[in-house]
Structure 1
Amino acid sequence: MLATSTSTIPVGDAWVHEVKWDGMRVLVDVAEGVLRLYSRTERDVTVAFPELQGLADEYPDLLLDGEIVVLRGGVPSFGALAERFHVTQARRAAHLAEQSPATLMLFDLLRLYGVDLTGRPWRERRATLERLDLNGARWQTPPTYADGEALHAATKEQGLEGIVSKRVDSPYLPGQRSTAWLKSPHRRTVSVVVGGWRPESTGTVRNRLGAVLVGLPSPGGLRFLGRVGSGLAGKAGQRLLEDLAPLHADTSPFLTDVPREDALGAQWVHPVLVVDVESLGLSSQGRLRQPAYKGVRDDLRPDDVDDQAEGE
């Protein structure tokens, strides 16, 4: 179940509010004492996070929804977490778990002892989750709050991403984006889809990534949001180019012609890779203002990306 962006924090007893974590959304499936972790793209990421295996010892059968974060100074660091997305070797994962241990923030319970709880209201699922007392060294069940405006102000002061507001009577709708969950982020970070890339315009290395061309999914293609070059220096750009190389396409995936100054030397790609970009919102021309690349979102597909850039 996915949250819808909002600029207004709901009030009243029908709503409850939680911290919005800057991490990787996962489903945690424990069956017969074996734990598996699945990303939003249904990719099995169990091997990447060995420090969470102990959760399988808590209960023999349950399905949980949560967010994996890597904390730096008590604040989630998406950059530190991104280093672990692609890990498929157990030895490498174990090393990273020691260097940058992850924490699993649990916020919903979808199955317990074989009983499907998704049709029950949030308040019942949450009460059952709290009775499980899932609070360990590497996982926790963060509290909820009645005052959304106060939580929003507190999370801004603490440098957290924002809040999520949830209707207490809402069922869990797997894979659906719902207005029963509303997200109110502080930082202007949006998930966008890459439709092309440009090599560096200086130097002698032509296959070095200089910028990516990004957009938002619309019927028939991508709505162009601009060119992102900041944040792509060094290893970040190299890794992204490795992801883009096999996605080569002969034609542009954008709905309209990309401006000449952005399209010059562009290599088009199939619009399947989602990345996070931080910006100052949109210009009057509908372009991202001063965008900076943050990282690949392996946990998202293009159809998971909503029109977050609006109203920023």
Structure 2
Amino acid sequence: MEPMLATPAARTGALPRGPQWAYEVKWDGVRALADTTTGVLRLWSRGGRDVTPAYPELSGLVDLPGTVLDGEVVLLDGGRPSFAALAERMHVRDPRRTAAFARSRPVTYLVFDVLRVAGTDVTSRAYDERRALLDGLPLPDRVQLSPVYPDGDELWAVTAEHGLEGVVAKRRSSVYRPGVRSADWVKSAHQHHRTALVVGWREETSGSGRLGAVLLGAHDADGRLRYLGRAGSGLTGALATALHAAVTAQPRDTCPFDDDVPPLDARGTRWCAPVVVVDTRYLNRTPTGRLRQPVVRGVRTDTDPDPWEQQ
């Protein structure tokens, strides 16, 4: 089971307009399908991984039998979703630790679509019909409907003002197409985000032995590992510790990239197998595909890395 995906807008803020479109906030969290069709709750990540144990506070979803919901798991910090705060707990599976997190920093599941209701497949119904079905569901604690807005330009301005990630436009007549990146959904973010592979790392220049920067990469359509750039921002605290442990467990003697790495970036780099996935935020990409001002936001185990072509 895979979620439907949105197509990036041609340029930042260039969302489709007109009464045939509805607009939703693009939330800064983790995409998840909530599935109760087997009689128990399963939360599936975008990559098809079972992430149910990480979020025990969402267990009330089991009271919606035979249903599959699509939404975003977010952790609100000061009233706004914080991916950094969510990253602290999204990989935890120990029941005692997840229970403690659920009490101290509970997540919210923001639902924006439905694939199945009480055993009936509704993916062939129009977006507006599916939203009407969502309105009639008795959602449990920690689960909310993601609001729908009629004016994309106004929502774009409001999300920018409040520091939210962006906006998704959805064609009101569109069906739900699992696993398809469709032009019926168009997304635009105020800042760019992508997942990337960690391919090398460097220590802090102080000689402390701590992680100072990582070299990022992505596979292109031909399977070649391409260089995205070096990122040092965001590597602090628990994230730096966890990422350091992950990359040092996958050492390589030679550079895995299939294209050239600038000598300044390669100097002092320790290479690792390209298996660790991180979430990044960046300003834009250069003509050669490098990320400008990348910031590492967290390790991802719930999804695959974005391809080289993904902006």
User: TM-score, length-normalised on structure 1?
Assistant: 0.90
Residue matched to 1:56: 62
Alignment length (residue pairs): 304
Q: Which runs of 5+ in 2 are unaligned?
A: none
Deviations 1:188-230 (A, max 9, x none): 333322222223333153xx32211113331232332210012
Q: Does 1:141 align with 2:145?
A: yes
The alpha-carbon deviation at position 308 of structure 1 amounts to 4.5
Q: What is the identity percentage for the equivalent residue pairs of Structure 1 and Structure 2?
A: 51
> What pairs with 1:170-209 in structure 2 (closer than 5 Å)?
170-205=174-209, 208-209=210-211
Work out whether residues 191 and 308 of structure 1, in 8 Å CA contact, stay in contact via their aligned partners in 2: no
Residue matched to 2:71: 66
Residue matched to 1:155: 159
Work out whether residues 25 and 299 of structure 1, in 8 Å CA contact, stay in contact via their aligned partners in 2: no
Q: Does 1:20 align with 2:20?
A: no
Residue matched to 2:128: 123
Residue matched to 1:89: 94
Deviations 1:89-124 (A, max 9, x none): 111101001110100000111112222222332222
Work out whether residues 272 and 301 of structure 1, in 8 Å CA contact, stay in contact via their aligned partners in 2: no
- Partners of 1:285 and 1:202 in 2: how far apart? 31
Work out whether residues 200 and 214 of structure 2, in 8 Å CA contact, stay in contact via their aligned partners in 1: yes
**Structure 1 119/271 Cα, relative in aligned 2: closer, same or farther at 3 Å?**
farther
Residue matched to 2:212: 210
**Structure 1 222/81 Cα, relative in aligned 2: closer, same or farther at 3 Å?**
same
- Partners of 1:27 and 1:250 in 2: how far apart? 40
The alpha-carbon deviation at position 168 of structure 1 amounts to 1.8
- Partners of 1:123 and 1:204 in 2: how far apart? 56
**Structure 1 115/248 Cα, relative in aligned 2: closer, same or farther at 3 Å?**
farther
- Partners of 1:54 and 1:111 in 2: how far apart? 17
RMSD: 2.0
- Partners of 2:46 and 2:176 in 1: how far apart? 15
Residue matched to 1:290: 293
Q: Which runs of 5+ in 1 are unaligned?
A: none
Work out whether residues 65 and 118 of structure 2, in 8 Å CA contact, stay in contact via their aligned partners in 1: yes
Deviations 1:209-253 (A, max 9, x none): 221111333123233221001211332211012222344345434
The alpha-carbon deviation at position 88 of structure 1 amounts to 1.0
Residue identity matched to 1:176: V
- Partners of 1:56 and 1:19 in 2: how far apart? 26
The alpha-carbon deviation at position 52 of structure 1 amounts to 0.7
User: TM-score, length-normalised on structure 2?
Assistant: 0.90
Work out whether residues 79 and 295 of structure 1, in 8 Å CA contact, stay in contact via their aligned partners in 2: yes
- Partners of 1:141 and 1:39 in 2: how far apart? 19
The alpha-carbon deviation at position 148 of structure 1 amounts to 0.8
Work out whether residues 162 and 186 of structure 1, in 8 Å CA contact, stay in contact via their aligned partners in 2: yes
Q: Does 1:4 align with 2:4?
A: no
Residue matched to 1:231: 234
Matched position secondary structure for 2:67 = strand
- Partners of 2:182 and 2:255 in 1: how far apart? 31
**Structure 1 11/183 Cα, relative in aligned 2: closer, same or farther at 3 Å?**
same
Work out whether residues 15 and 166 of structure 1, in 8 Å CA contact, stay in contact via their aligned partners in 2: yes
Matched position secondary structure for 1:262 = helix
With 247-256 and 120-129 compared, the bigger mean Cα shift is at 247-256
Work out whether residues 60 and 141 of structure 2, in 8 Å CA contact, stay in contact via their aligned partners in 1: no
With 266-275 and 148-157 compared, the bigger mean Cα shift is at 266-275
With 250-259 and 10-19 compared, the bigger mean Cα shift is at 250-259
**Structure 1 174/191 Cα, relative in aligned 2: closer, same or farther at 3 Å?**
same
- Partners of 1:66 and 1:28 in 2: how far apart? 8
Residue matched to 2:106: 101
**Structure 1 246/122 Cα, relative in aligned 2: closer, same or farther at 3 Å?**
farther
- Partners of 1:90 and 1:81 in 2: how far apart? 17
